[in-house]
């Protein structure tokens, strides 16, 4: 009985979350703000990749970043030190970000216009996949040291994203078993339209290409 009560409540929540997400997505498109949700395991280089993208994106417009964590303000401080507006969203232990949190975070920017909005989601390759955060694109990072064999273990995340961004390619020499071709193949079996980027925030590999893709997506997403 408990199980069915949970499923019922969960469906209610997900459905009302999706409605709010659709409305938010449309409003941001009207306002000219292109919004990307970045998901990954802890330590996959989400913040570092964002910092590497900033010089390219800031040539195109204003950038704002929502930094979500269970607790702490470590990441939003790093972003602010780079001269970019950031709002720290602390979920107080909650494993994902929902629309209620997104709306409160967005309001905390105080009505300023942004051409690019990013949500750095909770470091979690499981739960965030279920919650639409109202973004125009959802992307996931997978770092080379995590290993390439993650598609079969975390299928929901690989299924819902528009792009897979492999990070920390400078670790490849230390990971001779990392089978990049197999990763591409397995990910595209699950998600045939997936864009795949191979990047390294430290060396800059692939970062300009990723920035160009985001700019291209922006032109088709906002009014």
The smaller minimum CB distance to a copy of itself, of residues 127 and 222, is found at 127
Task: Give yes or no for residue 103 binding a copy of itself (CB under 8 A).
Answer: no
Shortest Cβ distance from residue 177 to a copy of itself (Å)?
10
The smaller minimum CB distance to a copy of itself, of residues 126 and 180, is found at 126
Task: Give yes or no for residue 76 binding a copy of itself (CB under 8 A).
Answer: no
Q: Which of 38, 84, 119, 125 binds a copy of itself (CB under 8 A)?
A: 125
Shortest Cβ distance from residue 125 to a copy of itself (Å)?
5
Shortest Cβ distance from residue 122 to a copy of itself (Å)?
7
The smaller minimum CB distance to a copy of itself, of residues 95 and 215, is found at 95
Task: Give yes or no for residue 160 binding a copy of itself (CB under 8 A).
Answer: no
The smaller minimum CB distance to a copy of itself, of residues 170 and 216, is found at 170
Task: Give yes or no for residue 74 binding a copy of itself (CB under 8 A).
Answer: yes
Smallest CA-to-CA distance from 35 within 198, 180, 210, 221 is with 221
The smaller minimum CB distance to a copy of itself, of residues 115 and 198, is found at 198
Q: Which of 136, 138, 168, 218 binds a copy of itself (CB under 8 A)?
A: 168
* Helix 46-58 × helix 207-221 angle, to 10°: 70
- Name the DSSP letter for residue 33: -
Q: Residue 101: helix, strand or coil by DSSP?
A: helix
CB atoms within 10 A of CB 107: 10
Report the alpha-carbon distance of residue 66 to residue 102 in Å, rounded: 8
Structure tokens at 120: 């750095």
Report the DSSP beta bridge partners of residue 118: 36, 65
* Helix 99-107 × helix 2-31 angle, to 10°: 30
Report the alpha-carbon distance of residue 197 to residue 120 in Å, rounded: 18
* Helix 74-81 × helix 46-58 angle, to 10°: 20
- Name the DSSP letter for residue 154: S
Task: Give yes or no for residue 182 binding a copy of itself (CB under 8 A).
Answer: no
Structure tokens at 128: 């965030």
- Of 195-214, which residues contact a copy of itself (CB under 8 A)? none
Task: Give yes or no for residue 153 binding a copy of itself (CB under 8 A).
Answer: yes
Q: Return residues touching a copy of itself (CB under 8 A).
A: 2, 5-6, 9, 12-13, 41-44, 69-72, 74, 93, 95, 122-127, 143, 145-147, 149-150, 152-156, 168, 170-171, 174
């Amino acid at each position: 009985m408990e199980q069915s009560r949970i499923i019922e409540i969960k469906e209610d929540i997900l459905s009302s979350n999706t409605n709010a997400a659709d409305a938010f997505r449309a409003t941001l498109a009207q306002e000219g703000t292109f919004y990307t949700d970045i998901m990954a395991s802890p330590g996959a280089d989400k913040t570092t990749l964002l910092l590497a993208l900033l010089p390219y994106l800031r040539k195109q417009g204003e950038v704002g970043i929502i930094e979500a964590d269970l607790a702490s303000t470590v990441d939003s401080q790093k972003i602010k030190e780079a001269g970019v507006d950031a709002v720290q969203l602390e979920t107080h232990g909650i494993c994902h970000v929902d629309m209620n949190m997104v709306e409160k975070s967005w309001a905390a920017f105080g009505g300023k216009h942004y051409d690019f909005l990013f949500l750095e989601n909770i470091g979690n390759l499981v739960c965030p996949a279920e919650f639409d955060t109202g973004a125009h694109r959802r992307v996931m990072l997978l770092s080379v040291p995590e290993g390439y064999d993650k598609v079969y273990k975390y299928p929901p995340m690989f299924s819902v994203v528009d792009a897979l961004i492999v990070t920390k390619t400078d670790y490849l020499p230390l990971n001779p078993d990392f089978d990049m071709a197999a990763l591409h193949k397995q990910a595209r079996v699950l998600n045939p339209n997936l864009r795949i980027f191979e990047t390294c925030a430290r060396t800059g590999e692939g970062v300009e290409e990723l920035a160009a893709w985001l700019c291209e997506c922006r032109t088709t997403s906002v009014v």
